[in-house]
Amino acid sequence: MKKPQTINEYKTWLKSELGFRISGADRQYYYSVAKAMREQLLASDFWCDLSPTLERFDGQYLSKTGYQLLESLDPPDILVKPFDSFLLKTYRKNVINNMRWSDQISPPSGGWITPENWFSEINDIIRTLFVVRYLDGVEFLAESIEELASQHGVSCTVSYEAKETGYYAAHLDIMLDCEIPDRYWGTARILSTIEFQITTQVQELIRRLLHRRYEIERKSQPSTSVKGWQWDYNNQQFTLNYMGHLLHYVEGMIMQLRDA
Amino acid sequence: MEERFRHYLEEISLPVELYDKVENILRIFAQLSSETVEQIFVSEYLKPDGSREYESLWCFSRNLALEATDFVVGNEISVMRLIQIAFLVIRKKHYDFTQSQNNSELYIEYDPSVVDRAGYLKASGTNCDHLKNVALRYLAPRSD
């Protein structure tokens, strides 16, 4: 079986091979579930406590370093991943990044991601972004939120992302027990993951520039060019990716100067 | 708002504070089309505590269907020509498609033939009878 090469081929493949027909009803249901998840995060004790606690974190960082931690003390917006981006992510996990599917069709290590399990398997349907002023603020805030989550008995896993493409941020996977509308009847309970991202002001600026390109890039298979983007200095990808790395390095240098 | 619409909203226990929203959406429909709204429907499902979670508000006229998605807090409205409905799925639970009971549930999924505007409507309790009427009158595939 040939791997689907586009999102439309992926939809056809989902229907023919796994028996799931993706229609506008799935899109509508997705937003209904996402709305329920978002509302439950906003109503959770953890989030209600986190919003006012940001000021305390900022004060602790200020007394430790002499500088402010956050760009804004207001709680960040809670965003819902658009359905098209969500479906694209399942395509990446099932097909593009599925190294077990070479000659013969084979599911990824955790099994196929389908409408039956994708609300539990995809970790950033609901996400938010905290923006800090300095590079060391990423780790400081990540640890502070992790500790607060622990106090509330909420599972929180921190990872520090450093991608080849120049993306740098801390990701916190917050587990939330959610009551969501069932596809057909009443409600169902799932354990879903909410993603908190923490990055610096400078990286945030770059990621805004990169976002649109990432979406286009992710819709296609990885480049099979022998040379790779690292040698294609006329390509926009070369400029943007290295700008991400360069700025991360500069932010590290700023830290050394600041704390000298 | 017409009295029969108000009765319907009372029957499905929609909070009175939301009636203004319904009226506002009916006004928008009147601005968008000269057709008269014949029927309204609120898609909803039952929560474990027995209360209803209201999703979208629908307004049906002879040829048009307006959907106010997530109308309790949302602001998105879409309008569809009913003539394009070509595919219908009916799922029912504790419901004989004649007379609803308190524990009845009904799910209707529709799919227009030419555009990707498929969607669904849900109902519980006596609202199932209203959804059945909506499905039979407006969403059942037509041959014309």
Chain B positions in Cβ-Cβ contact with residue A38 (cut-off 8 Å): none
Interface confidence, given as ipTM, is: 0.85
Where are the domains positioned within chain A?
A: 38-83+120-259
Of B55, B70, B120, the CB nearest to A25: B120
Single-letter residue type at B102: N
pLDDT confidence band for A221 (50 / 70 / 90): very low
Fold of A38-83+120-259: Beta Polymerase; domain 2 (3.30.460)
Task: Give the strand pairing for B85-93 and B105-112.
Answer: antiparallel
CATH assignment of the domain containing B125: 2.30.29.30
Chain B positions in Cβ-Cβ contact with residue A80 (cut-off 8 Å): none
Chain B positions in Cβ-Cβ contact with residue A29 (cut-off 8 Å): 120
pLDDT at A161 over 80: yes
Please report, rounded to a whole number, the percentage of residues in chain A having pLDDT higher than 70: 93
Residue B68 lies in a domain: yes
Domain that holds residue B69: 3-139
Residue B144 lies in a domain: no
Please answer yes or no on whether B117 and A184 come within 8 Å at the CB atom: no
Cβ(A174)–Cβ(A153) below 8 Å: no
The number of folded domains in chain B is 1
Please answer yes or no on whether B107 and A184 come within 8 Å at the CB atom: yes
Q: Please report the pLDDT score of residue A236 as a whole number.
A: 77
A2-35 CB burial, b ≥16 within 10 A, e <16:
eebeebeebbebbeeeeebebbbbbbbbbbbbbb
pTM above 0.90, yes or no: no
Q: Please report the pLDDT score of residue A24 as a whole number.
A: 85
Higher-scoring residue by pLDDT: B88, A220: B88
Residue B125 lies in a domain: yes
